[in-house]
Amino acid sequence: MKLKPLYKNKTLEFYGYEKDINLNIPYFENGVSAGFPSPAEDHMNSKIDLNDLLIEHPSATYYVRVNGDSMLGVGIVSGDLLIVDKSLKVTNNCIVVAHIDGEFTVKKIKKTKKKIFLQAENTNYKPIEITEEMDFELFGVVAHAIHHFV
């Protein structure tokens, strides 16, 4: 999948969608009408598929809905849909879904020299240090958040 830059200003970039041409020829059950052909016909492309953009590893991708405000700082708002890719490697500062003592949570991974923390992106929440005694397991890396405006 390639993104084709279309237009750019200071704050926004617009992209078109370029993909190997894969046209589905429409099938007309009752024959084709003989009117003037649509001038747009030659410029038609396949439709944009968000799956191509958002899902790199389909068999490792899971969806998660969030509820809460602890990750507001990175733009994860209550009600957002997260796209979680379990195949991705966990790195410092990435956002992860993990479970601690049997409960799921979404936090940012913070590694220092000796310690690992799960950090909220909201000053009302304290970082959680991951210790040996904890029952801690990573679920996957949050690759995208989808926010609904309507």
Partner 1 sequence: MIGLVDCNNFYASCERVFKPNLKNKPIIVLSNNDGCVIARSNEAKALGVKMGEPVFKIRALIRKYKINVFSTNFALYGDLSHRVMDVLKTEVKKLEIYSIDEAFLDLSDFRSSERAVFIKKKIKQWTSIPVSIGIAPTKTLAKIANHIAKKNTEKGVFTLNNEMIIKKTLSVFPVENLWGIGRKYAHKLKLSGIKTALDFKNADAKWVKHNLSINGILIQRELKGEQCYKLKTYQSRKKSISTTRSFSKEIKKYSLIKEAVNNFANNCARKLREEKSCCSKVSVFLMTNPYKSKSKQYHQKITLFFPTATNDSLEISRMVDKALKKIYINDYSYKKAGVIVHEIKPEREVQISLFNKIDIKKRRNLMYSLDKINMIMGRDKVHLASQGIDKKWQLKQEQLSPCYTTQIKDILTIKI
Catalytic residues: 70, 107
Is position 31 an interface residue for partner 1 (rule: CB under 8 A)? Answer: no
CB of 40 to partner 1, least distance (A): 25
- 19 burial via Cβ count (<10 Å: 0-12, 13-18, 19+): middle
Residue type, 51: N
**What gap in Å lies between CA 90 and CA 86, rounded to an integer?**
9
Q: Is position 14 an interface residue for partner 1 (rule: CB under 8 A)?
A: no
Shortest Cβ 48–partner 1 spacing (Å)? 19
Choice between 15 and 90, CB closer to partner 1: 90
CA torsion through residues 69, 106, 146, 74, sign: positive
Binding-site ranges for partner 1 (CB under 8 A): 29, 57-60, 62-71, 76, 81, 86-87, 97, 99, 102-107, 120, 135, 137, 139
